[in-house]
Amino acid sequence: MTDSATAVAHANIALAKYWGKRDEALALPATSSLSLTLDAFHATTTVTPDPDAGEDTGTLDGRPMSDGEVVRVRRFLDLVRSLAGSSLHASVDSVSTVPTGAGLASSASGFAALAGAAAAAYGLDLDPRALSRLARRGSGSAARSVFGGLVVWHAGTDDASSFAEPVPGGEAGGPLDPAMAVVVLDAGPKSISSREAMRRTVETSPFFPSWTESTEVDVALMLDAVRAGDLPTLGALAESNALRMHATMLGARPPVRYWTAHTVGVLDQVQALRADGLPCWATIDAGPNVKVLCAGRDLPAVAEALSEGGTRRVVTARPGPDLRVTAGG
């Protein structure tokens, strides 16, 4: 038996979104993106290489992984094995506090934790940038979950230049003090995977070229806002960028629509809270749930308002930590 390794990675929510790939095989995104890693949701993954195992196996939250999940893990471990020069199969056991497949970035924390644990278990000595590039191959947004706080993922033009890195200024209690209220409207699996929806958007939406051009500009403007400690500008850009991402997928054929009437209801509420003098901004991923960015000091009031007297589940989150390998390796 070879030593196992365990890693913990936190979920991230993009403020400037990744939507569409320029290269599927290498998982190169069409645009750069900017995200906030959250302390509220994380995945803990243990990889145990086993000389006696004939194939890779896995569990997710204590149940055997589905065929589709095992295929994705196996492909990822193939990449790790090729880098490590190993032929050992492994068991992968992952426990997540993120509702799987509900547009709450379960694959980001999942594949970042898998990358960290697999690299350690197979003896790869990777610096954080190399780990981010490796995690990207499992799931694009996982590149960002290697780091805590605010993170930029440079789109790059090849495997070496497409990596994430931390952006100073995202610390809790700092001048920007970013925080998030996650409004959980539906924690069930989504109707179409983001991978498939992105592909359809790239292939059929006439809005896609404008989306990529304007997102590159948004990332630059957001980084300026972070440097200036200007949360209102960052928030307004984030809300607009999310709406543009959904506009580009609504332009696909057949259209991709993750919103429900409840999603629109929360957008209305966020607008009303701003009008009442409570600064907060909405963002939406590949699912109906709405994440609301605000300053840490306003988080209790924002969460209280969105919870509708406690009838709705709202999870509060502050900037989360870097990926860490917690055992073995």
Cβ distance to ligand 2P0 smaller for residue 305 or 323: 323
The CA distance from 253 to 242, in Å, is 20
Query: Which positions from 88 to 127 touch ligand 2P0 by CB under 6 A, shown as an x/- string?
Result: -----------------x-xx-------------------
Does 145 engage in binding with ligand 2P0 (CB under 6 A)?
A: no
How is residue 51 written in tokens? 């000389």
Contact predicate 205/252, CB 8 Å:
yes
Cβ distance to ligand 2P0 smaller for residue 56 or 285: 285
Reported as half-sphere exposure (CB side, CA atoms, 13 A), residue 284 has a value of: 24
Does 147 engage in binding with ligand 2P0 (CB under 6 A)?
A: no
> What is the DSSP code string of 245-299?
HHHHHHTSSS------HHHHHHHHHHHHHHHTT---EEEE-SSS-EEEEEEGGGH
Cβ distance to ligand 2P0 smaller for residue 4 or 35: 35
Does 241 engage in binding with ligand 2P0 (CB under 6 A)?
A: no
Residue 194 CB, nearest distance to ligand 2P0 (Å)?
A: 4
How does DSSP classify residue 319?
A: B
How is residue 279 written in tokens? 């600064």
Sequence-separated (6 or more) residues with CB below 8 Å from residue 21: 27, 28, 29, 30, 140, 198, 199, 202
Does 37 engage in binding with ligand 2P0 (CB under 6 A)?
A: no
Cβ distance to ligand 2P0 smaller for residue 49 or 319: 319
Cβ distance to ligand 2P0 smaller for residue 49 or 235: 235
Question: Which residues bind to ligand 2P0, rule: CB under 6 A?
Answer: 14, 17-19, 27, 33, 105, 107-108, 139-141, 194-195, 285-286
